[in-house]
Chain A
Amino acid sequence: MTLEADLREGLLAAVPSLRAFAISLSGQVDKADDLVQDTLLRALANLHRFERGTNLNAWLFTILRNLFHSEYRKRRREVEDPNGSYAGRLKIQPEQGSHLDFEDFRTALAQLPSDQREALLLVGASGFSYEEAAGICGCAVGTIKSRVNRARLRLAALLNVDDVDDLGPDSMTRAALQG
């Protein structure tokens, strides 16, 4: 018997979003890929625990998040980022040929406390509901809501988002066209 085709599809289909989450969490592509690989291995070893019909992505994100945090606890100093070196590492990340520059945004994101960054990534970028994000992080829905809220406020302050001309998507588009 082979790994059921639909499940294999599901796992492969989840890889891009798992990678994006892992890269955004860890700030390191190599580490992120190891994290995704460990997530897949752990998922395969625990497939019997996965309830068919429930959200495979949410289950995989939960595994990845738990792995990331146990790694984080183990190697705290390595991951902690008081000087924004997380953002520095991310700068090498954009694909060549990409004209969009998210440097300011990455730098600001790196300055968020990790619980806020994680909540914002889950809800604001990965497309999970507050309820799903709470399930993934093992905390209350209200906790996720307040973390996301605080993350947005902090980012807005760091990025001076009230300066419309500076950071609006339009100026990014213009920069891309000029680049």
Chain B
Amino acid sequence: MTSDKGNKLARALPRTPLNDELGTSATLDSSSQKRIGDQLRAMYDELMQQPVPDRFKELLDQLDKKKDGSQ
């Protein structure tokens, strides 16, 4: 898979809407694939960068203590 970007391959993408019945043999050209991937990761990174809610740390701390007490 090449990672060339900004080329004209994107033009090869069919302009008609793709539907669910589309066969799996079709693949996206690499530059379109890259753009989709970039956006997906950017969206995901934004979620990943949110601070971890305290409840999760507290949960693990509590379990630590419980284990301490019982053993």
Kindly supply a per-residue 1/0 record for chain A positions 66-101, scoring 1 wherever the CB is within 8 Å of any chain B CB and 0 otherwise: 000000000000000000000000000111001010
List chain B residues, Cβ under 8 A from A161. Answer: 10, 13, 28, 32, 35-36
B22 touches A150 (CB 8 A): yes
CA distance A22 to B17 in the complex (A): 29
Report which residue of A12, A23, A156, A172 has the largest number of chain B beta carbons within 10 angstroms of its beta carbon.
A156
Say yes or no for B71: interface residue by CB 8 A criterion: yes
The A-B contact count (CB < 8 A) is 130
Choose from B6, B37, B48, B57 the contact partner of A17 (Cβ within 8 Å): B48
B67 touches A3 (CB 8 A): yes
Say yes or no for A153: interface residue by CB 8 A criterion: yes
A157 touches B18 (CB 8 A): yes
Considering only CB atoms, which chain A residue lies closest to B39 in the complex? A105
Interface size class of A (residues with CB under 8 A): 35 or more
Interface of B is mostly: helix
Chain A residues with a Cβ under 8 A of chain B: 1-3, 8, 11-12, 15-17, 19-20, 23-24, 33, 36-37, 40-41, 44, 93-95, 98, 100, 102, 105-106, 109, 113, 120-121, 124-126, 146, 149-150, 152-157, 159, 161-162, 164, 167-169, 172
Chain B residues with a Cβ under 8 A of chain A: 6, 10-11, 13, 15, 17-18, 20, 22, 24, 26-28, 32-33, 35-44, 46-50, 52-53, 55-57, 59-60, 63-64, 67-68, 71
